[in-house]
Amino acid sequence: MDELLKLLKQNALETPENLARMLGLTPDEIRGRIAEYEKRGVIRGYQAVVNHDQLDIDLVTAVIEVKVSPEREGGFNHIADRISKFPEVQSLYLMSGAFDLLLFVSGKDLKDVALFVAEKLATLPGVLSTSTHFMLKTYKDHGVLMESHDEYERLKVSP
Amino acid sequence: MTNMNDLKSARNPVARHVRDMPPSGIRDFFEIVSTMKDVISLGIGEPDFVTPWHIREAAIYSLERGITSYTSNLGLLKLRQALAAYVDRVFHVRYKPENEILITVGVSEALDLALRAIIEPGDEILYHEPCYVSYSPIITFAHGIPVRVETRAEDGFRLTPAMMAERITPRTRALLLNFPNNPTGAGLSREDLLGIADLAQQHDLIVIADDIYAELTYDGVHTSIASLPGMKQRTIFLHGFSKSWAMTGFRLGYACAPPDLVGAMMKIHQYTMLCAPITSQEAALEALKRADEDIAAMREEYRRRRNLIAATFHDLGIPCVTPQGAFYVFPDIRQFGLSSRDFAYKLLDEEKVAVVPGTAFGPCGEGFVRCSYATAMADIKEALLRIERFTRRLAKT
């Protein structure tokens, strides 16, 4: 992967000035390359990684395995497109193995998610079965640890 | 009547050459920094990475299997074999695992052994400054005479054969080289390396090459003096796992040299250290298995940090030689009219950023401070902002 993308994936808020210094380019070159990535759709957005467990809000997330029957034309794409239109669906992947689609779905409580599965997801033509797993705690998300452990500290000055 | 106790107490129990040795220049600074809270430290001479997990896991597994004994004095044969292959591949020098490689407790022990093995009292050892804090003291402890060659910022801290030649006398026994260099980050060009090799051959000198930072070379490839024609037989090549594999606490290094020199070093090692810790040797064996990937990942991160820190000093108008290797920059702070020590103490006091006064690395480090970039990028950026604020204030007064 391009070094600029690697750095942006680590920290999208890094300034073009600092990125330029790290990569030996000018800030304008950095801005140009980011704009190009955005235009091509390589970079599709920027988001904060939030530890929801620290917030006093009603939010549950479930991971749902879905078996579907692929269509003669378009395979899994048509049904996947349709499912991904629901705002409850945060992420959607086509998988190998015992099921076909893996969904990350969020709602305000268990009932909310259960209703979505029962009323909207399971009733879609082509959906054969669903299996819902609720998330209890997030330890790591997007490569970021959600809790900082006591880190061993190095000597503050050493030769 | 003379009281025996009085006689005894009248005599200083500490040997003169130890008594006369000044304490390390960073010791008192360390004491102050360690009592302060919320300090961002650019004063750390070890990687901020944790040893790669597969290496730690190998150490744990060796303990699970009950591998807790002594090893051969030279170190585990399988580790020496793996090192022979690594040194051949990376540094292009062939050493026999049976009698040309000695595993030691860090490069520090290897260097001490090398000096003790070759120095007769009064022999002179040439070394270049600014340099690692231990060189001069351990030459003295080995009853040698440290002779320094000063490199200058104006020349990019370049060490030339001519500078060394000037200080050679009939008592000169060895040259001690450390490139990439701590604290300046300077490298040595092939041309200068060839010149110094010539010098060693002309004057029949041993070269002790502390190549601990070799893999952390950012522009081009490191050449070890041991690989030059005719040099293997007079070089003691020192290398270890601390820097490139982030294994400082494992304390594992090694020396490669012709059999008579390794034999001499081994004699001292077997009577003093006996062997390097077996857990560390097992870990090192694993480290060599995936050396290139582990090192490349860390080197790329260091390179980006070097670029950021050197470019920022440049933008701030603080002259700074772009380091070719290791993880230090050595900016020139003479324009602010403070000594290295005062600059470092004032920066610590006013902005809570720790840098090491250049004088800790020899008198010619006056006017410079060492900033280590073996620190998380976020801390480096914050430290640079604070240094900018601090130096702007200094410039106004």
Considering chain A, what percentage of its residues have pLDDT values greater than 70?
Answer: 100
B331-338: average pLDDT = 96
3-state secondary structure of A5: helix
Print burial letters for B251-282: b (CB count within 10 Å at least 16), e (below 16). Answer: bbbbbbbbeebbebbbeebeeeeebbbbbbbb
- Beta bridge partners, B239, equal B254
B182 compared with B27, residue with greater pLDDT? B182
CA distance to A15, B311, B354, B376, per residue, from B386 (Å): 17, 16, 11, 16
Look-up of token digits 């690395």: B361
pLDDT band at A148 (very low <50, low <70, confident <90, very high): confident
B290-306: average pLDDT = 94
3-state secondary structure of A41: coil
B384 contact A CB<8A: no
- B367 close to B332: Cβ distance less than 8 angstroms: yes
Task: Report the C-alpha gap between B251 and B51 in whole angstroms.
Answer: 12
Tell me how close the Cα of B44 comes to any Cα of chain A, in angstroms: 5
Task: Identify the burial level of A21 via C-beta atoms within 10 angstroms of its C-beta, where 0-12 means exposed, 13-18 middle and 19 or more buried.
Answer: buried
B259-276: average pLDDT = 98
Residue from B178, B243, B304, B359 to probe the interface with A (highest A Cβ count within 10 Å) = B304
Query: Which is it for strands B172-177 and B124-129: parallel, antiparallel or unpaired?
Result: parallel
Q: What is the pLDDT of residue B9?
A: 61
- Beta bridge partners, B293, equal none
B26 contact A CB<8A: yes
The tokens of B350 are what? 């006013």
B317-336: average pLDDT = 96
Model pLDDT for residues B160-214, shown as the tens digit of each residue: 999 999 999 999 999 999 999 999 999 999 999 999 999 999 999 999 999 999 9
Look-up of token digits 């006369």: B20
Q: What is the pLDDT of residue B29?
A: 84
Tell me how close the Cα of A7 comes to any Cα of chain B, in angstroms: 10
Model pLDDT for residues A62-118, shown as the tens digit of each residue: 999 999 998 888 889 999 999 999 999 999 999 999 999 999 999 999 999 999 999
pLDDT band at B335 (very low <50, low <70, confident <90, very high): very high
Look-up of token digits 């929801």: A52
pLDDT band at B7 (very low <50, low <70, confident <90, very high): low
Q: What is the pLDDT of residue B8?
A: 56
Q: Which residue from A18, A23, A156 is facing B354, i.e. has the nearest CB?
A: A156
Tell me how close the Cα of B232 comes to any Cα of chain A, in angstroms: 29
Task: Report the C-alpha gap between B390 and B378 in whole angstroms.
Answer: 18
Q: Is the dihedral of CA B87, B93, B99, B104 positive or negative?
A: negative
The tokens of B321 are what? 């030689």
Task: Report the C-alpha gap between B109 and A150 in whole angstroms.
Answer: 32
